[in-house]
Amino acid sequence: MDVVEINYRKKTERKKNKIKATTRYIEFLIENDHLLEAKHFLNELALLEPKGVQATVLEYKIAIRTYDYPKVVEADGKLHQMGIEQHKLLALELEFFCTRNIFSKAAKCIDLLLDEEELPPTTLQLVIEAVFHINNYPLLVRVIDWLKRKNINLSQRAMADAKRVALHGLSNTLVSFSNERLSRC
């Protein structure tokens, strides 16, 4: 048994401790792709805290990973009503749009996230991975500018991916320029 599971299974007297332990355990299950178990414990969490923001965020994450579009829409609506912080909601939406390959909406989420002054490390990592996934050179430039302002460097692997996106952007520019010149002749 993992430490997270042991902590969950300990009998806690206080409801607040039970909610915290259940939430951590569900996050652990989601990270390890145990989605059926996560759904089960999410139902338990919903009984403990029916209108909890964290439960709705976890519901959203499970819905994304199980490709349950109606649940994603439902969770998104609930989080809008609850007034969750914009960067948290945008990160969830970005994750959803990337899994569905809806690149135009993913790009809008990235743009809005890069307008934020600060981003949590997990959100920043999601943004960088999404830019590489959608292969968008203008967004790559924005990400690199944002990182420079914050004195953050990309890893060697991320730099290699950034170069790949930049080369792809350059080749697209050259092709469009070449096609434009040919159409004038």
User: Does 97 map to a domain?
Assistant: no
66, pLDDT greater than 80: yes
Look at phi and psi of residue 152 and say left if phi exceeds 0, alpha if psi is from -120 to 50, else beta. Answer: beta
User: Does 152 map to a domain?
Assistant: yes
| pLDDT recorded at residue 171 | 87
For residues 68 and 34, membership in a common domain is answered with yes
Q: Provide the whole-model pTM.
A: 0.82
| pLDDT recorded at residue 12 | 59
Confidence bin at 178 (pLDDT 50/70/90): confident
Q: CA triplet 114, 115, 119: central angle to 5 degrees?
A: 55
**More confident site: 178 or 107:** 107
First to last CA, the chain: 71
Q: How large is the average pLDDT for residues 81-89?
A: 93
For residues 78 and 148, membership in a common domain is answered with no
For residues 5 and 37, membership in a common domain is answered with yes
Return mean pLDDT, the chain: 88
Instruction: Say if CB 143 and CB 131 are below 8 A apart.
Output: yes
For residues 78 and 106, membership in a common domain is answered with no
For residues 64 and 116, membership in a common domain is answered with no
Q: How far is CA 141 from the centre of its chain?
A: 20
Confidence bin at 176 (pLDDT 50/70/90): confident
15, pLDDT greater than 80: no
Q: Of the given ranges (7-16, 125-134, 167-176), which has the lowest mean pLDDT? A: 7-16
| Sequence-ordered list of residues with C-beta below 8 angstroms from that of 118, at least 6 positions apart, any chain | none
User: Does 95 map to a domain?
Assistant: no
> How many separate domains does the chain show?
2
For residues 18 and 71, membership in a common domain is answered with yes
Instruction: Say if CB 60 and CB 84 are below 8 A apart.
Output: no
Paired tokens of 138: 């203008």
| pLDDT recorded at residue 179 | 75
For residues 52 and 131, membership in a common domain is answered with no
| Sequence-ordered list of residues with C-beta below 8 angstroms from that of 96, at least 6 positions apart, any chain | 60, 64, 72
Q: Which of 100, 102, 101, 98 is nearest to 127 (CA)?
A: 98
For residues 16 and 44, membership in a common domain is answered with yes
User: Does 93 map to a domain?
Assistant: no
- Interval 117-161: pLDDT, tens: 999 999 999 999 999 999 999 999 999 999 999 999 999 999 999
- Interval 35-63: pLDDT, tens: 999 999 999 888 888 788 999 999 999 99
Rounded Cα–Cα distance for residues 180 and 182 (Å) = 5
For residues 147 and 69, membership in a common domain is answered with no
Task: Look up the domain containing 129 and give its range.
Answer: 102-185
For residues 118 and 184, membership in a common domain is answered with yes
Paired tokens of 168: 């792809």
